[in-house]
Structure 1
Amino acid sequence: MTLIVESTENENLIEVNHLRINFNTYAGKVKAIRDVSFHLKKGETLAIVGESGSGKSVTTRALMGLNADNAEIAGGEILFHGQDVLKKSEQEMQQIRGKDIAMIFQDPMTSLDPTMKIGRQIAEPLRVHNHVSREKAMEQALEMLKLVGITDAEHRINDYPHQFSGGMRQRIVIAIALICYPEVLIADEPTTALDVTIQAQILKLMKELQEKIETSIIFITHDLGVVAGMADRIAVMYAGKIVEYGTVDEIFYNPQHPYTWGLLNSMPTLDTRSGDLSAIPGTPPDLLDPPKGDAFAARNPYALKIDAEQEPPFFKVSETHYAATWLLDPRSPQVVPPVAIAKRQDQWAKMHNADGELIRPEAPLPTPAAPSDDDRE
């Protein structure tokens, strides 16, 4: 069973349905994306989280037709305004890329042309897509440079990428992505190469720009902590599949999948001492030959016998929250999650009634208690 969230066509900018992508390699066919479905609404931020190799970037690059030459679309559809982009020609996709759907790539060091002044690089999408004059394009590039927070923009617009710091280069990459005011912005781990102080500034900037230009964001990351104040909804990916899906509060305070438990448990806190970091044991499965049942079973301390035999369907936790784990089956035995996760779930239960409705809408959820020594067992 694959997660399909019911919605009317005019509500969603993007709908991904039953997407499957393989990579043809010398060793065989890698089943990188295995039946993925999700949607993106106007003005919202969807975070896709998971370990390296889980399929986050492959999925979102398919939205822009940017997958590698050895990639094979094995099935599914990607609807943008109701039209399947997988059926569009390269020429048609070139009209969409940068104008309607733009991407911020992971490494600003390699995303910019070192031989071209940054003003020209920012203005280029405008000249290609909107066919404006060079003078007009440079005027708008200057305004965007100011908008992303580059000081002394009038002079720095004529500088080359090597004359900027890493954080400034990332701001320039964001300016290039936003210059045409795209409807959808894909941010592929845009803060990975930055220190935490600059990371926070970039995240704040993206949130402010999103409100100003009313764009929707797909935010890709392996770090749940990064999206805590950024996302509206979260999709957790593992081994080429979405395993849990819900609002940011549901994923942080009422997680249901053991893999999500592991991700949250591995987040360091201010009280985390040296040597006390938790980790998910083992390694992801080989997608040349995906496991028969639940792909996470071999690493799951809560795995049931059926996990090795049959892939779990999505179980409905609420109208917006789904998780693919046999632990949610009414017939499964009751398990006790890690102490830190149980505390989160207790806080969630105290704030909601039996129907899952927030008892005090005006009150934010409390900050999860810092784990004690016993929590890290």
Structure 2
Amino acid sequence: MSKLLEVKDLKVSFNTFNGEVQAVRGVSFDLNKGETIAIVGESGSGKSVTSNAIMQLLPKPHGYVKGGEILFEGEDLVKKSTSEMRKIRGKDISMVFQDPMTSLNPTMKIGTQIMEGLIKHQKMSKEHAKKRAIELLDLVGIPQPEVRMKQYPHQFSGGMRQRVVVAISLACNPKILIADEPTTALDVTIQAQILELMKDIQKKTESAIIFITHDLGVVANVADRVAVMYAGKVVEIGTTDDIFYNPKHPYTWGLLGSMPTLDSAEEELFAIPGSPPDMTNPPQGDAFAARNKFALEIDKVMEPPMFKVSDTHYAATWLLHEDAPKIEPPASVQLRMQGFANTGNKVGDQ
């Protein structure tokens, strides 16, 4: 598979009154054509900062890329000027944000907002752009698209506004779509519809997707691969099956164990103790050690490397060292792993 995007040892910091916040500390992953990679983790783990760095949407001058490369089709986006990035945003790489009301202009008609990108990036005539905008609204499931074109964002429900944002992001047939918590503000029924819509559109357009979320239940249904982030680092990465059937990092165990299931009423939900570290002064060693009941002495002094579990699966935990004690995931996590296995299907088919 051809690599569309390669993020290499990305470091992003913010200058604040309290000092330098090291939000992203050496993140690496790649993205292939037609693939969906999910980036998961708690709030503050660096997921959204990573996506904003790719789009060059960091708040300047306080936010900046401190090191690393973001290669899109072989060209480093970090080195692109603002004017060069404007030509890439929307055309080659698009983004769907969490809250559609902050993405849509309340003073502009929906049709005008969709047509804007088509006229600018695709050099379409106004008539051609209008026809394409109607097609896009129909594609994302908006009824009576000709009528809806003339309406304003406040005349749409939350789910329909998010569909409009998806339509705008797809207008120029981008090669990469970044979806940053696109369903968090929606109820579960609309959430499922938006996710199904994105999967369906991806099949038709062969676009690649970076899906950012804290919800592993969402990941199971949309992702080909999963990168688990904690304290600005990728601590585990693998296929969706790797992460759900064979998780290796204690943080991934915590995320899986805290997932509610149909049997949750009869079992105690696992909770990760403590809080993420202060990123103005990241801890020495493994950043997760203070919250990890399986932490070893070495975790407090030395950061673990990425250990290879398989050709597709890597995890940064000293528990994978050949001299480490053999520790199994907690019972709550094993129950979920067993539940996935008992379906007889792949995780994403559930």
Structure-1 residue corresponding to 2:149:
157
Q: Per-residue deviation at 1:342?
A: 3.1
Using structure 2 for the length normalisation, give the TM-score: 0.96
- Describe the superposition over 1:217-266 as per-residue Cα deviations: whole angstroms up to 9, x where unpaired: 00000011111010000000000000000000110110000000000000
Q: What corresponds to 1:356 in structure 2?
A: none
The aligned residue for residue 85 of structure 1 is 77
Q: In structure 1, how many angstroms separate the alpha carbons of the residues matched to 2:147 and 2:24?
A: 45
Match among 24, 47, 60 for residue 15 of structure 2 = 24
> Aligned letter for 1:163?
Q
Q: String of CA shifts for 1:117-143, please: whole Å, max 9, x gaps.
A: 000001110111112111111110000
Question: Could you list the per-position Cα deviations for residues 203-230 of structure 1 after superposition, in whole angstroms to 9, with x for gaps in the alignment?
Answer: 0000000111110000000011111010
Alignment of 1:296-315 (within 5 A): 296-315=288-307
1:336 corresponds to 2:328: yes
| Residue range with higher mean Cα deviation, 124-133 or 309-318 | 124-133
Provide structure 2 residue ranges, at least 5 long, that are not aligned to the other structure: none
Match among 95, 103, 106 for residue 103 of structure 1: 95
Asked if the contact 1:40/1:46 (under 8 Å) is kept, the reply is: yes
Q: Distance in 1 between matches of 2:162 and 2:338?
A: 39
Aligned partner letter, 1:22: S
Q: Secondary structure at the match of 1:67?
A: coil
- Map of 1:14-163 to 2, 5 A cutoff? 14-69=5-60, 70-163=62-155
RMSD: 1.8
Secondary structure of residue in 2 paired with 1:126: helix
1:347 and 1:194 map into 2 onto residues whose CA distance is 27
Identity among equivalent pairs (%): 63
Q: Which residue of 2 aligns with 1:179?
A: 171
Measured in 2, the distance between the counterparts of 1:317 and 1:344 equals: 20
Check 1:163–1:365 CA distance in 2 against 1; reply closer, same or farther (3 A cut).
closer
Task: Tell me which of 255, 258, 274 is aligned to 1:263.
Answer: 255
Unaligned residue ranges in structure 1 (runs of 5+): 1-9, 352-362, 368-377
Using the alignment, how far apart are the partners of 1:366 and 1:141 within structure 2?
35
Q: 1:13 to 1:365 in 2, by over 3 A?
A: closer
- Please state if 1:364 is matched with 2:345: yes
The alignment partner of 1:229 has SS state of helix
Q: Which residue of 2 aligns with 1:284?
A: 276
- Residue 3 of structure 1 is matched in structure 2 by none
Conserved? CA contact 1:65–1:86, under 8 Å? yes
- For residue 28 of structure 1, report the CA deviation from its aligned partner: 0.3
**What does residue 242 of structure 2 align with?**
250
Q: Which secondary structure does the structure 2 equivalent of 1:205 belong to?
A: helix
